[in-house]
Amino acid sequence: MTIKMGIAVLSGLLTLPLAAQAQGVIGGSERGAAEGGAAAGPVGAVVGGVVGGVTGGVTGVLGADEGPRFHDYVVRTHRSSYRYAEPVEVGAVLPEEGVTYYEVPPEYHVAPAYRYTIINDRTVLVDPRSRRVIQVID
């Protein structure tokens, strides 16, 4: 396992100059680490961060430049907020009942399988199959 992680990190470092030209390397690393950590703990966070950085953020979620614009879109649509007792954070699994999911317009370049919803007055991207929060948009 340690060898595989070392190879992944080394591969990421060797390809970083190419990835630096891609938009969203830092955001991709952060999102990859968050998603990997939610899925597989610390090792998943390390590998997810490297992979997310190398792919330049092509994880299907909103980039840092799109987040505020998307948030403004959501505010203009006046969707109602679901009250949730747990913390609203990446990796949280939403309840089966009561949450309404909405399609993300194509101009935001989010993975087609993801949806958004409003939880405790916060906009979140969700994988509706697992009901897992993928990204919190502030």
In tens, the pLDDT along 81-100 reads: 999 999 999 999 999 999 99
Per-residue confidence (pLDDT) for residue 49, from 0 to 100:
56
Note the pTM of the prediction, 2 decimals.
0.58
Which of these, 128, 129, 132, 123, lies nearest to 62 by C-alpha position? 123
Dihedral (CA of 107, 108, 113, 119) sign = negative
Domains and their CATH numbers in the chain: 2-54 (no CATH), 67-137 (3.10.450.160)
Q: Give the least confident one: 11-15, 54-58, 91-95.
A: 54-58
